[in-house]
A and B are shown apart, each in its own frame.
With several copies, the nearest count.
Chain A
Amino acid sequence: MAFGKTPVESIDALAARVHDGAMIAVPPDYSFVAMAATRALIRRGARDLHILAVPQSGIQADLLIGAGCVTIMETAAVSLGELGAAPQFTAAVKSSRIEIRDSTCPAIHAGLQASEKGLPFMPLRGLIGSDLMRIRGDWKESENPFEEGDRIVVLPALKPDFALFHSPFADRNGNIWLGRRRELVTMAHAAKGALVTVEEIRDIDIMEDEALAGGSLPALYVTAIAEAPKGAWPLGVAGQYEPDREHLANYAKKATDADGFQDYLAEHGA
């Protein structure tokens, strides 16, 4: 089945498009995280993923890291928020099982905007004097070409293979509604393709409704869509369902040791 030119497929078919070694951009926990697709990635045994958190992540990154799917984690932070440290992330970094590319939120946004604009780099204020500049061999100090002596950092473009996220709905033509979550629009523009799970597919044309069109991502950027009701669970979708706080607290407790983490995976179908 396909709406317009964008295929609508099963969550496992969608996850299978993420090849081993792919760089995938994902949103923060509060914003339309494709958790059902994340479990599908773990089920299919994805390997060597380069996860780019835009700009931070939580349980999604922790699950993928714990399940051995991740080789590179690029992020401004990984945390379970009020529930504390992300246990699998923390353990993997300390034991060097993954390569951590510590970044800072605006650097990730700027790197994606560079790709969005087809630019090889983007300048950014701040950063100079932080140890991030020391450890990021790919960030460079440069000079403002319009003012001698004004030092400024330049960052290389970040070009993910896929942007992977969830949305309240797609329309019959494959357009995706995202409302205020415009970092997902930028992510999709910057990536080679977007893989999107949706609560539902509505038989409407988003582009015919000016109110909806302004908060949408055109099908043009979407590689494939999978219908996934409650697809952000145990995280929430603003205005539709709350995060499952009990479940998340249980995860935070269980995932602190390897056995508990494996139990969790087995129990929750990943």
Chain B
Amino acid sequence: MNAPKYTKTELLIEVIARMLDGLNHVAVGASSPIPGAAALLARARSGGTPRVSVLSSLRHNDFTDGARELFDCAAQGRIDAFFLGGGQIDGEANVNLVGLGDYPKLNVRFAGSYGSAYLYFLVPRVILFRPEHSRRVMVSKVDFISAPGTSPPGLYRPGGPYALVTERCIFSFNKEACRFCLQSIHEGETVESIRKNTGFDFDCPPQTLQTPPPSATALELIRGDVGINIAEVYPKFAREFLSLS
């Protein structure tokens, strides 16, 4: 029996969904179609666990107290996982959502920091997600710290980076060492191809694991209910990257 064929998007959805299994409540912020689909997938295959709150969705959104509720809820310890991207991400897990160059006169301007400077501190499992894995994005040091990867001891910080998911691999983050560690590489990549495309140094386990492909069940859900639901908020994404059955 051949493993079913899958796209990179489907793989990434499955990879993230696995990191959410068993959690109580996952929130998904702006501009996050793949994490949104992952959270819906995790929920779909576990019979309703975790709760999923997709910002700017009406249907998949438990909040009723306005836009501040996500942030209050996180501070109450009621959100277990959240996602952050970044125009740049560095080896200390600092993220830059503001721009390239010397602030405020930037060479490239991104959208802005959104809730990163807060949620990165408060949500226990923040998954960094950035498909593009190049030296342009994975840098040695970000130009602007929208949110720092770690904080000095004594600072109130129940949350922080859990993993970094890209088109090439998954890194876990070691808070004590303040370094990423290669967890698994996607099909077609090697440790060398990762190193070549990564601007920061990272740890490697003695043996390199391959990221397992999405299961047939996962693919069926992604191409069915999960895809239909994510299309509510991200119609363009669903049209272009998901082959809905």
**Per the CB under 8 Å rule, do A and B touch in the complex?**
yes
Q: Flag whether A213 is at the interface (Cβ < 8 A).
A: yes
By size class, the interface of chain A is 35 or more
Q: Which residues of B contact A100 (CB under 8 A)?
A: 104
Q: Which residues of B contact A210 (CB under 8 A)?
A: 58
Closest to A93 in B: B109
Q: List 7 A-B contacts (CB under 8 A).
A: A5-B51, A77-B97, A124-B118, A132-B113, A151-B155, A183-B68, A214-B64
In Å, the complex CA distance between A169 and B34 comes to 35
Q: Which residues of B contact A89 (CB under 8 A)?
A: 109
Q: Which of A54, A81, A83: most chain B CB closer than 10 A?
A: A81
Number of residues of chain B lying within 8 A (CB) of chain A? 62
Contact B67–A90 (Cβ < 8 Å): no
In Å, the complex CA distance between A116 and B152 comes to 26
Q: Flag whether A131 is at the interface (Cβ < 8 A).
A: yes
Contact B111–A85 (Cβ < 8 Å): yes
Against A, the Cβ 8 Å flags (1 = close, 0 = not) of B88-125 are 00000000011100011111011111111111111000
Q: Which residues of B contact A220 (CB under 8 A)?
A: 25, 51, 62, 73, 78
Binding site for B on A (CB under 8 A): 4-5, 28, 30-31, 54-56, 75-79, 81-83, 85-86, 89-90, 93-94, 96, 100, 102-107, 109-110, 113, 115-119, 124-132, 135, 149-152, 180-186, 189, 207, 210, 213-221, 238-239, 245
B111 touches which of A77, A118, A125, A150 (Cβ 8 Å): A77
Identify which of B143-151, B164-172, B179-187 touches chain A: B143-151
Closest to A245 in B: B235
Q: Which residues of A contact B122 (CB under 8 A)?
A: 118, 125-126
Q: Which residues of A contact B51 (CB under 8 A)?
A: 5, 220
Q: Which residues of A contact B4 (CB under 8 A)?
A: none
Closest to A100 in B: B104
Contact B97–A189 (Cβ < 8 Å): no
Q: Which residues of B contact A106 (CB under 8 A)?
A: 68, 71, 115, 118
In Å, the complex CA distance between A186 and B66 comes to 9
Q: Which residues of B contact A189 (CB under 8 A)?
A: 65, 69, 72-73, 76
Closest to B107 in A: A94
